[in-house]
Chains A and B, each alone.
Chain A
Amino acid sequence: MNQNNVILNTLTYVVFFMIFLFSIHIFLAGHFAPGGGFVGGLLMASGLLLLYVTFDLETVRKMLPINYSILVAIGLLFALGTASIGLVAGDAFFTHYFNHFQLPLLGDSELHTAMLFDTGVYLVVVGVTMMIIESIGGDQ
């Protein structure tokens, strides 16, 4: 496109980070509020989609050199690995564990292995969505 999209470009710089942070917020809130890995992942993918709309495929690939099929595999490994903690610990498959920790700045926080599983879901959703968009958008 030869048009000069100054407004779109400038807005994208700001809005992309807002979407990114909001997706992280939704992802972390999942245990006690609506949200979680799936919605968070979709939001992240929509943020990346905004980059694709604003710039072209090659520029975004240069900015974020990520192989999305490997991202999917890593996400699946996260999920399977979290589910397999129970195997090693002597409980049933998919048993989750949690405890309270005193973290610096955050104070008393509850950390749960379900979040690791959600990380896997997040990565798979981002990876799959971007693979679909890239493979359809990349064709001539």
Chain B
Amino acid sequence: MNSMNSAVFPIIVPLFFAILLMFAPTQRVYQKIVATIGILSTLSMSVFVLQKVHTDGAQVVTFGSWQAPFGITMVADSISTLFVTAASLVTLFIIWYSFTAIDREREGNYYYAVVLLMLVGVNGAFTTGDLFNLFVFFEVFLMASYLLSVLGGTKQQLKESLKYMFINVFASALFVIGVAMLYAVVGTLNMADISVRVTQLEQPAIVTAISVVLFIVFAFKAALFPFFFWLPSAYSAPPIPIMALFGALLTKVGVYSILRTYTLLFPLDTTFTHTLLMILGIATMVVGCIGALASWNVVKIIIYNIFIAVGLLIYSISLFNEESFAGMLYYTVHDMLIKAALFLLVGLLVYVTGTQQLRQMGGILTRYPTFAWTFFIAILCIAGIPPFSGFIGKMLIVKGGFASGHIAGSIWVLFSSLIVLWSMIRIFIYAFWSKEGRFETVPKPTYVKMLVPTVTLVALCVAYGIFSSVVWPYVQDGAKLLMDPTLYSQFVLKGVK
């Protein structure tokens, strides 16, 4: 086995196991075993590629041994492999949690196969170096997410998945139109080649207009202001593990695409595009803050916290300096892990109390102390208290903001962390501290089986913060690459004039 193909391994391994899972959908033991092996081998492949990218430089493979701009290129550089590894890691924990949290009916209807197929789409979207192939991988994970959001067929799921599909079909059509327009102007679909040609043309106004069309598409996927309206209801319909999968991965693909679009494809007209990014990023944070404080539904509070994180990431992209990019990469991985952890924790909270309403809960600290303190640590992580994982990313973003003179934006970032902390600590005070509230009688083994993956994931978040020096070199490589798009074109278009 040669190593030139290593970029595609995190994509084809879950695909292979998803196909295997399709052969016996109703054999529950077979499903669980194959899904576990599948996700573990995907994760080890991702870590292998991450290591390889760090030691040997970016891994590029052009399908079918064609020359770079003519074939489909897959590019595993430090940015994409970092995201791929985080996505595989999160999926591992969600599959583990699903073993107990997903009912038999869903398990028997291709649940694990579709989860793996969604990972195929997400990993593919992170790795691809071709604009149309990015669209195809978007559709791969969107199809999987349609199925996951409707699987089980409750009334609310049917209602919300219909809206979710309408919005995404519209956004996908816009994506195709944007790609067609760009192809008409530059005549290529390979991202590295587009980057070179746009620089040669010195980015005429039409290209900036196309970049805004593509931005709207990705803003729909990432739920930026004013394209966020579908997300709160669409994400609250499916069961918790699916919600965690969506919340941790799907919006991040949109953020990643915006990052690529504005650092690689259209880097020249920054005064216009980056002001747009900054305004919308901050507006998204405001929406998230208002929603997180206004809601008394625990699931909705976490969902609105997604907005705050996405807004922060878009704001950090708009700053365009090495510090903010490093912060952005670090924070995205942190946010994938912690959002998944929070959804799993809230799932457990809803499981033991039997309600999503914060006002009806209470007194969990005395009954379930381990769970309560895990939740508390997760709150410290997401708010960005120094030893924990949210700190370094946010600090770098704020520092980058001050360095480029955006004082007000950075102060708002700090203020939004306060609101994140407030919204989360409110859950802690009402559900864990106050007087005895509602409780369901839950079987102890099931509770423990759901608690173990959750605690492990929170522990991983804590470790990610404390041992940040392990991840730091990869983040630094990525930030350097983002600052200089010619590096990317050079290693993709090796030997092509």
A residues with a Cβ closer than 8 A to B are: 69-70, 72-73, 76-77, 80, 83-84, 86-88, 90-96
The reply to whether the CB of B184 lies closer than 8 angstroms to some CB of chain A is no
Chain A residue at minimal CB-CB distance from B8: A93
Known: A70-B22, A73-B23, A93-B61. 14 other contacts (CB 8 A): A69-B22, A70-B23, A73-B19, A76-B15, A76-B19, A76-B22, A80-B15, A86-B64, A87-B1, A91-B65, A92-B4, A92-B61, A93-B63, A93-B64
Contacting residue for A80 out of B1, B16, B63, B74, CB 8 A: B16
Tell me the interface secondary structure of chain A in the complex. helix
Q: Given A80-B15, A86-B65: A92 and B5 within 8 A (CB)? A: yes
Contact indicator A92/B64 (Cβ below 8 Å): yes
Across the A-B interface, the 3 shortest Cβ-Cβ residue pairs: A73-B22, A94-B63, A92-B65
Query: Could you list 23 A-B pairs, sorted by A, with CB under 8 Å?
Result: A69-B22, A69-B25, A70-B23, A72-B22, A73-B19, A73-B23, A76-B19, A77-B19, A80-B12, A80-B15, A80-B19, A86-B65, A87-B5, A88-B1, A90-B2, A92-B61, A92-B63, A92-B64, A93-B8, A93-B64, A93-B74, A94-B64, A95-B64
How far apart are the CA atoms of A83 and B63 in the complex, in Å? 9
- Chain B 1-39, CB-CB to A under 8 Å as 1, else 0, gives 110110010001001100110110100000000000000
Chain B residue at minimal CB-CB distance from A87: B5
The reply to whether the CB of B81 lies closer than 8 angstroms to some CB of chain A is no
Chain B residue at minimal CB-CB distance from A95: B65
How far apart are the CA atoms of A76 and B20 in the complex, in Å? 10
| A69 partner residues in chain B, CB cutoff 8 A | 22, 25
| B74 partner residues in chain A, CB cutoff 8 A | 93
How far apart are the CA atoms of A76 and B21 in the complex, in Å? 12
How far apart are the CA atoms of A16 and B2 in the complex, in Å? 47
| B62 partner residues in chain A, CB cutoff 8 A | 92
How far apart are the CA atoms of A112 and B8 in the complex, in Å? 23
Chain A residue at minimal CB-CB distance from B11: A93
Contact indicator B12/A93 (Cβ below 8 Å): yes
How far apart are the CA atoms of A86 and B2 in the complex, in Å? 10
Chain B residue at minimal CB-CB distance from A73: B22
Chain A residue at minimal CB-CB distance from B62: A92
Contacting residue for B5 out of A77, A80, A86, CB 8 A: A86
| B19 partner residues in chain A, CB cutoff 8 A | 73, 76-77, 80
